[in-house]
Structure 1
Amino acid sequence: MSDRLSTTFRYGRVTLSRRGDLALILTVSLLTTLLLMFWSYKVKAACGGPPFFPDGRSHRWPVGDPDAVVPCYSDLMYLWIGRDINNHVFPYIHGGIGADGQLFGGAVEYPVLSGLFMWLGAIGAHTDLEFFRHSVVLIAPFGLLITAMLAVLTRWNVLWWALTPPLVLYAFHNWELPVVATAVGAVAVMAWGASIHPVTGRRRMTLRTSAILAAVVLAVGFCLKLYPGFFVLPLALYVLTRGGFTRSDDPDGSGRSDEDASTPTRGPLDWVGAAWVAAAAAITVILIQLPFMLLGYEGWRAATTFQGKRRADLDTNSIWYWGLRHLTGGQTDTYNSLVGVLSPILILSSFVVAVYLGWRLRHRTGVYPWIGVSAAMLAGFMVFHKVHSPQYTLWILPFFVLLRVRWPVIVLYLIADFILDTTIFRLFGIYVSGEPMKWWVMAGVNVGVWVHAVLLVYLIWAFVHAGMREPLASIGRRRVPAPYDPPEPDDVGPGDHIREDA
Structure 2
Amino acid sequence: MSDAPVARPAGSSRLTSSLAGRGRMALILLVSLLSSCLAMLWSYQAKIVCGGPPFLAEGRSAHWPVGDPNAAIPCYSDLMYLWIGRDINNHVFPYISGGITPDGKLFGGVVEYPVLSGMFMWLGAIGAHTDTEFFQHSVWLLVPFGLAITVMLAFMTRWWVLLWAATPPLVLYAFHNWELPVVATAVGAVAVMAWGSTIGPRTGERRLSLRTAAILAAILFAIGFCLKLYPGFFVLPLAIYVLTRGAGTDDVPAARRTLDWVGAAWVAAAATLTVIAIQLPFMVLGFDGWKAALSFQGKRKSDVDTNSIWYWGLRHFTGGQNDTYNTLVGLLSPLLIVAAFATSVYLGWRVYRRAGAYPWIGVSASMLAGFMLFHKVHSPQYTLWILPFFVLLQVRWPVIAAYLAADLALDLTIFRLFGIYTSGSPMQWWVITGVNVGVWVHAVLLAYLIVAFVRAPLREPLASFGRRPRPATEPDLVPAPA
Give the shorter-chain TM-score range: over 0.9
Distance 2:118 2:364 in 1: 25
Which of 27, 31, 34 is matched with 1:31 structurally?
34
Matched, 1:151 2:154: yes
Deviations 1:238-284 (A, max 9, x none): 000001438xx3xxxxxxxxxxx699785100000000000000000
Instruction: Report the CA distance between 1:9 and its aligned residue.
Output: 8.3
TM-score by length of 2: 0.95
Alignment of 1:234-245 (within 5 A): 234-245=237-248
Residue 473 of structure 2 corresponds to residue 486 of structure 1: yes
Q: Which amino acid aligns with 2:339?
A: S
Does residue 91 of structure 2 align to residue 104 of structure 1?
Answer: no
- 1:453 and 2:443 correspond: yes
Give the residue type in structure 2 aligned to 1:105. Answer: G
Equivalent of 1:319, from 289, 309, 323? 309
In 2, Cα distance between the equivalents of 1:70 and 1:427?
13
Aligned to 1:84: 87
How far, CA to CA, are the matches of 1:465 and 1:204 in structure 2? 27
Residue 55 of structure 1 aligns with which residue?
58
Q: Secondary structure of 1:161's match? A: helix
Among residues 21, 34, 37, which one is paired with 2:24 in the alignment?
21
Paired position in structure 1 for 2:176: 173
Bigger share in helix: 2
Alignment of 1:127-166 (within 5 A): 127-166=130-169
In 1, the alpha carbon distance for the partners of 2:34 and 2:8 equals 33
Give the Cα–Cα distance (whole angstroms) in 1 for the partners of residues 194 and 186 of structure 2.
13
Work out which of the residue numbers 322, 327, 334 in structure 2 matches 1:337.
327
Contact 1:5 1:17 in 2 (8 A): no
C-alpha distance in 1 between matches for 2:350 and 2:419 = 48
Structure 2 partner of 1:282 = 272
Given the alignment, which residue of 411, 429, 444 partners 1:421? 411
> Does residue 392 in structure 1 map to residue 382 in structure 2?
yes
Residue identity in the other structure for 1:69 = A
Aligned residue for 1:444? 434
The one-letter amino acid paired with 1:379 is A
Separation in structure 2 between the aligned mates of residue 363 and residue 179 of structure 1, nearest angstrom: 32
Q: Which residue of 2 aligns with 1:465?
A: 455
Amino acid in structure 2 at the alignment position of 1:465: R
Query: Is the CA contact (8 Å cut-off) linking 2:241 and 2:358 kept in structure 1?
Result: yes
Q: Which residue of 2 aligns with 1:233?
A: 236
Choose which of 353, 357, 367 in structure 2 pairs with 1:377: 367
Distance 2:145 2:332 in 1: 35
- The size of the alignment, in residue pairs, is 471
Is the aligned partner of 1:68 residue 2:71? yes
Partner of 1:117: 120
Runs of 4+ in 1 over 3 A off after TM superposition: 1-6, 261-266
**d(CA) in 2 for partners of 1:282, 1:17:** 43
- AA paired with 1:464? V
Tell me the TM-score normalized by structure 1. 0.91
Note the C-alpha offset of 1:380.
Answer: 0.1
Task: State the percentage of identical aligned residues.
Answer: 73
Partner of 2:3: none
Question: Secondary structure of the residue that 1:478 maps to in structure 2?
Answer: coil
Question: Is the contact between residue 302 and residue 377 of structure 2 (CA under 8 Å) also seen in structure 1?
Answer: yes
State the partner residue of 1:258: none
Q: CA deviation at 1:435?
A: 1.7
Aligned residue for 2:389, secondary structure, equals helix
Give deviations 1:190-236, integer Å, cap 9, x for gaps: 01100000111110010000000000010000000000000000000
Change (3 A) 1:202 1:385: same
Higher deviation after alignment, 59-68 or 330-339: 59-68
Q: Distance in 2 between matches of 1:312 and 1:2?
A: 69
Aligned with 2:469: secondary structure? strand
Partner Cα separation in structure 2 for residue 314 and residue 370 of structure 1: 34
Q: Secondary structure at the match of 1:330?
A: coil
Three-state SS of the structure 2 residue aligned to 1:85 is coil
- Superposition RMSD in Å: 2.0
**Superimposed CA distance per residue, residues 341-378 of structure 1 (whole angstroms, 9 cap, x where no aligned partner):** 00000000000000000000000100000000000000
